[in-house]
């Protein structure tokens, strides 16, 4: 949704309706200024990552929710509002006060789609993540209340876990708790990065995996989307033949991080090596990745021979393909109509 509505030919840089100047003033366009205000006012932050002049769902969210006093009044009681804009037009780009800082925050918080809205403390700890929702301003405010309550409960649990970890002479039992907690989390879960940092310590406590802690930690980190290069390397070394399914999790992690041609080619190379092993723990996931790789090669990468080879290997896997991919996948290798 275009959170910068046009009025009298002008775009408002703070992503609010032009017909209400008080609503314009409600939103900060500079994250660091908003943090300072939140600390001063004793509030948290509601941060909206938006594409103001091109994102249809962002426009819809603003029109249906953010432009209404029924949203602004209750939300501003607890939050400082922030609109971080990623426009495409030159006029809108010129209105963004600190685009480099916005890019840093986009990467830091793993924003992969617009609109994405975060609830966070002034220290930058995220305890809620959402986006467009139907139902209007009142329903959205209630959704935020529920999101904040569950998120802050988890943060409180994490605080206790960190205190327990710091006080414990034997760290292993506490890390075991953290691994169990992380296993139920996903990349959007509140406090996931905090838990992942603690779980990562398992690699030093059980470097040879004699207690099985390292294996469980690596699995949890991969499944929660928190695997860094060290974890990916550990997974490959621990399970080179994919006997425990770690190798296919590494490949899945790579597919989730594809952003450009280079990362796509790296992911394709990884799935090809996995297909050569022929030892899959999650056949449906492997087939899905192979099909996606084939479509990339058949489409933007324009490597049709590679696409056909990947397609044949994907079809040989005894698993159903996601219906969303099936139609396009079936057309690989067919002559153009």
Q: List, in order, residues 6 or more apart from 94 with CB less than 8 Å away.
A: none
Is the pLDDT at 22 greater than 60, yes or no?
no
**pTM across the whole model:** 0.67
CB 119 within 8 A of CB 131: no
pLDDT confidence band for 262 (50 / 70 / 90): very high
Is the pLDDT at 274 greater than 90, yes or no?
yes
How distant is the alpha carbon of residue 168 from its chain centre? 32
Alpha-carbon distance of 333 to 227, in angstroms, equals 36
Alpha-carbon distance of 280 to 299, in angstroms, equals 26
Quote the tokens at residue 296. Answer: 């990339």
Quote the tokens at residue 83. Answer: 């609109």
pLDDT, one tens digit per residue, over 78-90 is: 999 999 999 999 9
| Mean pLDDT value across residues 120-134 | 94
Quote the tokens at residue 44. Answer: 């948290």
Mean pLDDT of the chain: 88
Q: List, in order, residues 6 or more apart from 222 with CB less than 8 Å away.
A: 231, 235, 246, 249, 250, 252, 253
Q: Which of 178, 183, 196 is nearest to 110 (CA)?
A: 196
Taken in order 85, 90, 96, 102, the sign of the CA dihedral is positive
Alpha-carbon distance of 166 to 171, in angstroms, equals 8
Which CATH number is associated with domain 6-151? 3.40.30.10
pLDDT, residue 14, reads 37
pLDDT confidence band for 18 (50 / 70 / 90): very low
Find the range with the poorest average confidence among 233-237, 306-310, 323-327. 323-327
pLDDT, residue 81, reads 98
pLDDT, one tens digit per residue, over 307-317 is: 999 999 999 99
pLDDT, one tens digit per residue, over 276-295 is: 999 999 999 999 999 999 99
pLDDT, residue 186, reads 86
pLDDT, residue 69, reads 96
pLDDT, residue 142, reads 98
Percent of the chain residues topping a pLDDT of 70: 91
| Mean pLDDT value across residues 324-328 | 79
pLDDT, residue 192, reads 86
Is the pLDDT at 134 greater than 80, yes or no?
yes
Is the pLDDT at 166 greater than 70, yes or no?
yes
pLDDT, residue 245, reads 93
CB 304 within 8 A of CB 336: no
Is the pLDDT at 13 greater than 70, yes or no?
no
- Domain assignments of the chain as residue spans, ordered by start: 6-151, 168-238, 242-337
pLDDT confidence band for 251 (50 / 70 / 90): very high
pLDDT confidence band for 116 (50 / 70 / 90): very high
């Amino acid at each position: 949704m275009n959170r910068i509505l046009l009025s009298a030919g002008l775009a408002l840089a703070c992503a609010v309706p032009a017909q209400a100047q008080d609503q314009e003033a409600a939103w900060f366009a500079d994250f660091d200024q908003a943090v300072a205000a939140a600390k001063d006012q004793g509030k948290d932050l509601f941060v909206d990552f938006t594409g103001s002049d091109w994102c249809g769902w962002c426009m819809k969210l603003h029109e249906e929710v953010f432009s209404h006093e029924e949203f602004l009044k209750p939300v501003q009681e607890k939050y400082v509002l922030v609109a971080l804009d990623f426009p495409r037009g030159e006029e809108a780009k010129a209105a963004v006060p600190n685009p480099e800082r916005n890019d840093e925050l986009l990467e830091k918080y793993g924003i992969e789609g617009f609109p994405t809205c975060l609830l966070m403390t002034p220290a930058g700890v995220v305890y809620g993540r959402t986006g467009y929702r139907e139902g209007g301003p009142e329903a959205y405010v209630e959704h935020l209340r529920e999101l904040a309550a569950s998120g802050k409960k988890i943060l409180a649990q994490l605080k206790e876990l960190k205190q327990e970890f710091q006080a414990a002479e034997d760290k292993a039992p506490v890390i075991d708790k953290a691994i169990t907690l992380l296993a139920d989390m996903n990349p959007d879960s509140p406090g996931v990065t905090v838990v992942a940092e603690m779980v990562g310590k398992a690699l030093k406590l059980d470097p040879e995996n004699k207690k099985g802690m390292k294996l469980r930690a690596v699995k949890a980190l991969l499944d929660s989307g928190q695997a860094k290069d060290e974890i990916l390397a550990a997974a490959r070394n621990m399970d080179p033949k994919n006997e425990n399914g770690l190798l296919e999790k590494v490949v899945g992690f790579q597919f989730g991080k594809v952003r450009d041609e280079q990362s796509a080619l790296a992911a394709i190379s990884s799935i090809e090596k996995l297909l050569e092993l022929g030892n899959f723990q999650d056949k449906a996931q492997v087939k899905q990745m192979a099909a996606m790789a084939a479509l990339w090669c058949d489409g933007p990468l324009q490597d049709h021979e590679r696409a056909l080879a990947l397609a044949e290997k994907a079809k040989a896997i005894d698993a159903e393909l996601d219906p969303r991919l099936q139609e396009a996948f079936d057309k690989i290798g067919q002559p153009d109509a």
